[in-house]
Amino acid sequence: MKMTTSQMIVNADLNPTLGALTYGMVDMDITDPGTTNGLVWLGDDDYPTKGVWAFPLTNNGVADSVNGGINVVAQGPDMPLRTGYGMMIDEAGDLFIGEVRANAGDTYPKLTSITNMFPSSVDGSPTNWWNTAATYPITGGNLNWQDGTVVDNSFLDVQAVAIDSRTHPTNVSAAFSGGSGGLKIVLAADGTLVTNINQGVGIFYIGTCWDNVGNVYAGDANSAHPWKAFSPPGANQATTPAVATVQVVLPPTPPHITSITVSGGTVTIQFTGSASDLASAFTLLNSATVSPQSSYTPAAGATITGSAGSYTATVPTSGAIEFYRIKR
């Protein structure tokens, strides 16, 4: 395991326990980067597990070259037989970890929460808390909850675990692959099931995470569309609003009479309008008096032609004096 600075984190000379792993480390998390509490957390895939280990970082993110790591949690009453797959730690020192078990009818825990890994005498995560009098590794007495300890084949093949907040997690998502597939959302407080998402044999979700408004995501290894996104579970669902689109529609150009002529008993009226208007959008009105407006009615025998903003109305004369309007 290496940092981006090419600093070695796990060194077999410093940590022969991890150097002798058969299958190696399969999960990691990073907490408090850039602080004196910066840690890289690692979980292995051996059976039985060597536990959860933490490796201190310096303030600039470089691994401590002389620290062989802290075995924070070891296999015991609290810890599953295997620490993979899926692991995330919140800022209160609570560990959420999955165990990949694929045997139908298996009653070993598949999803576990271990609480209060930081010393209870200090609020939060104190500077270099691993150097206090607290006894590590933790093997019992810190269990918060475990799921999958009864016969429940929908808990097979945990592949990834994520919490929706480092500071105050409400939900935990667990991704499943193959044996049960899909996502399970459980409460971070007690492991109670909130909802199942797309669970089914042959669905290979191998990653999961949350965004800041509570949407949950999954990586699908068996799909042409591997990135899945789901609205948050529960009654109080958050939404991610789309970028608003405002469409401004200008009012149509009102008709404007430009000329009027009379010839051979026919009145010809030229007028303009919107370029997009059809000739059928207009009606020629006439009246024997200039007012009131209510006296204008559709002119008998009138026709209107034209397009692209230029139009012609023709109508037989019907009296000694006539007044005309164009109605759109």
**188 and 301 part of one domain:** no
**62 and 159 part of one domain:** yes
Q: Is residue 251 situated within a structural domain?
A: no
What is the spatial distance between Cα 186 and Cα 189, in angstroms, rounded to a whole number? 9
Helix (H) or strand (E) run with residue 217 in it: strand 216-220
**107 and 186 part of one domain:** yes
**189 and 61 part of one domain:** yes
Backbone phi, psi, residue 59, to 5°: -60, -25
pLDDT at 285: 96
56 lies in which domain range?
16-230
**219 and 303 part of one domain:** no
Neighbouring CB atoms inside 10 A of 308's CB total: 11
**130 and 32 part of one domain:** yes
Torsion, CA 245, CA 246, CA 248, CA 249, rounded to 10: 60
**290 and 168 part of one domain:** no
pLDDT by position in tens, the chain (length 328): 444 556 555 665 667 787 788 887 888 898 887 777 788 888 888 888 888 888 887 666 666 667 778 888 888 877 777 777 889 999 888 999 988 777 777 777 788 998 888 765 444 444 566 666 567 888 888 889 988 877 677 787 888 999 999 999 999 999 988 777 889 999 999 999 999 888 887 788 989 999 988 899 998 888 777 888 888 765 555 555 667 777 877 788 899 999 999 999 999 999 999 998 999 999 999 999 999 999 999 999 999 999 999 999 999 998 889 999 999 9
Does the reported pTM lie above 0.75? no
Q: Is residue 235 situated within a structural domain?
A: no
**182 and 314 part of one domain:** no
Helix (H) or strand (E) run with residue 112 in it: strand 111-114
**321 and 269 part of one domain:** yes
Please state the separation of Cα 54 from the chain's center in Å.
29
Q: Is residue 188 situated within a structural domain?
A: yes
| Count of domains for the chain | 2
pLDDT at 22: 83
Residue whose entry in the numeric block shows the structure tokens 């005498």: 121
